[in-house]
């Protein structure tokens, strides 16, 4: 039977071969096409920025890959256990908005929307999220989990700790999560998460999880107050970050985490990972909650994702939303 995605089969075979060669005859037999058709697919890959060496009696060797976002390259690095549709865009108003538009029009989920630039990127509380075309990763995951709305509060911290766990191993760094949605490295912000949903009376119908991740510092370096507040993962990672390989790792981790969340199997792991990556634990903070400032010491989160704050008088409060400032020591 002829394979419907020969370009994907070819690219996966070349990636798996590493520095080795892949026989054109073997590819033709696997896909169910002629050697000439294989060559035609290779030319289409070449048009996308892939380069190859062809050696008689040995086959093809992949010698260079695109350095910019490439949906096929990202998909080729995913396993069959991570089925999803991937859309890459040069520019979009907001990856969250684009994902919500597409699922609203009936697009299949899981859907992943990735952009090189956002013109109207945003964070929590309507704040602007700078999304210049700098080689950063602006990515949104859309799912239809159909779970009870009251469970929604735990999804942002759950995705946050999963990203921290991934960054710790992938970049060999010590990231932290600042409740509820900021990813920090050495106290500076490397990324953020924005979760939005369409909710019916008894279920979450459409859920989008947007992640803005700094991979590269601006060409001229961080300026102004950002110099003390922002950091790029590429600045602190142990080795250079390939945006397509990194994107595939993020997709695999987040979609697995979404499935665990849907199956309601995340509570114990959330508590363990939060304790490991919590940026606020035992820190004196000020929480702006419903226009009121509450001070105290952060002591973790509860099973519902609420921040637990111990006030100076020893009483404890639980807060499901708010903006946190860490007190100076």
The H helix count followed by the E strand count for the chain is: 10, 14
227-235 average pLDDT score: 91
Position 254 pLDDT exceeds 60: yes
pLDDT band at residue 121 under the 50/70/90 scheme:
confident
Q: 181, 241 in Cβ contact below 8 A?
A: no
Least confident of 77-81, 144-148, 185-189, 267-271: 77-81
Using the structure block, give the residue that is written with the tokens 């939005």.
Answer: 196
**Which structural domains are found in the chain, ordered by start?**
6-64 (1.10.10.10), 71-277 (3.30.930.10), 284-326 (2.30.30.100)
Band the pLDDT of 129: cuts 50, 70, 90.
low
Please name the residue that has the structure tokens 């226009």: 291
Hey, what's the torsion of the CAs at 223, 130, 237, 248, to 10 degrees? -160
Q: Is the pLDDT of residue 144 over 60?
A: yes
- With cut-offs at 50, 70 and 90, classify the pLDDT of residue 209: very high
Confidence band for 2, pLDDT divided at 50, 70 and 90: low
CA distance linking residue 320 with residue 312, whole number of Å: 20
Across the range 7-27, mean pLDDT stands at: 94
**Greater pLDDT, 174 or 81:** 174
Work out the pLDDT band at 124, boundaries 50, 70, 90. low
Q: Which of 53-62, 65-74, 117-126, 216-225 has the lowest mean pLDDT?
A: 117-126
Looking at the predicted structure, is the pLDDT value of residue 1 above 60? no
**Rounded Cα distance, 109 and 14, in Å:** 28
pLDDT at 225: 81
| Confidence bin at 265 (pLDDT 50/70/90) | confident
Please tell me the predicted confidence (pLDDT) of residue 127.
64
Q: What share of the chain is helix, strand, coil (3-state, %, to 5)?
A: 35, 30, 35
Tokens 């601006």 correspond to what residue? 218
pLDDT > 90 in the chain, percent: 74
Please report how the helices 6-17 and 35-47 are oriented relative to each other, as an axis angle in degrees rounded to 10: 80
Q: What is the distance between the alpha carbons of residues 31 and 309, in angstroms, rounded to a whole number?
A: 59
Confidence grade of residue 128 (pLDDT, cut at 50, 70, 90): low
- Type and span of the H or E element at 299: strand 292-301
The predicted pLDDT at position 130 comes to 60
Q: Write out the E strands in 243-306.
A: 284-289, 292-301
Q: Is the pLDDT of residue 316 over 70?
A: yes
Q: What mean pLDDT comes out for the span 149-176?
A: 96
Cβ contact 270:310 at 8 Å: no
CA-CA distance, 144 to 147, in Å (whole number)?
Answer: 9
Q: How many residues does the chain have?
A: 329
């Amino acid at each position: 039977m002829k394979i419907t995605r020969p370009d994907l089969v070819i690219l996966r075979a070349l990636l798996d071969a590493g520095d080795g060669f892949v026989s054109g005859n073997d590819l033709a037999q696997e896909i169910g096409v002629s050697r000439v058709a294989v060559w035609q697919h290779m030319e289409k890959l070449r048009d996308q920025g892939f380069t190859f060496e062809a050696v008689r009696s040995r086959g093809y060797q992949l010698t260079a890959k695109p350095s910019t976002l490439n949906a096929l390259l990202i998909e080729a690095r995913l396993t069959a256990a991570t089925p999803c549709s991937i859309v890459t865009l040069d520019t979009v108003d907001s990856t969250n908005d684009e994902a919500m538009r597409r699922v609203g029009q009936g697009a299949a989920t899981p859907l992943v929307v990735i952009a090189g630039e956002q013109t109207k990127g945003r964070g929590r509380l309507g704040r602007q999220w700078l999304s210049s075309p700098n080689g950063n990763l602006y990515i949104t995951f859309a799912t239809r989990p159909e779970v009870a709305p009251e469970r929604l509060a735990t999804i942002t911290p759950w995705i946050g700790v999963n990203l921290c766990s991934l960054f710790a191993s992938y970049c060999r760094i010590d990231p932290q999560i600042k409740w509820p949605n900021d990813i920090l490295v050495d106290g500076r912000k490397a990324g953020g998460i924005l979760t939005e949903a369409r909710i019916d009376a008894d279920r979450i119908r459409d859920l989008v999880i947007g992640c803005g991740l700094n991979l590269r510092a601006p060409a001229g370096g961080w300026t102004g107050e950002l110099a003390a507040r922002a950091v790029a993962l590429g600045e602190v990672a142990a080795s250079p970050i390939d945006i397509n390989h990194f994107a595939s790792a993020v997709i695999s981790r987040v979609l697995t985490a979404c499935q665990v969340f849907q199956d309601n199997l995340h509570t114990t792991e959330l508590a363990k990972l939060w304790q490991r990556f919590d940026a606020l634990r035992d820190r004196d903070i000020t929480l702006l909650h419903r226009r009121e400032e509450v001070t105290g010491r952060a002591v973790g989160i509860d099973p519902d994702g609420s921040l637990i704050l111990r006030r100076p008088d020893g009483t404890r409060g639980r807060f499901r939303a708010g903006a946190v400032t860490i007190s100076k020591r």
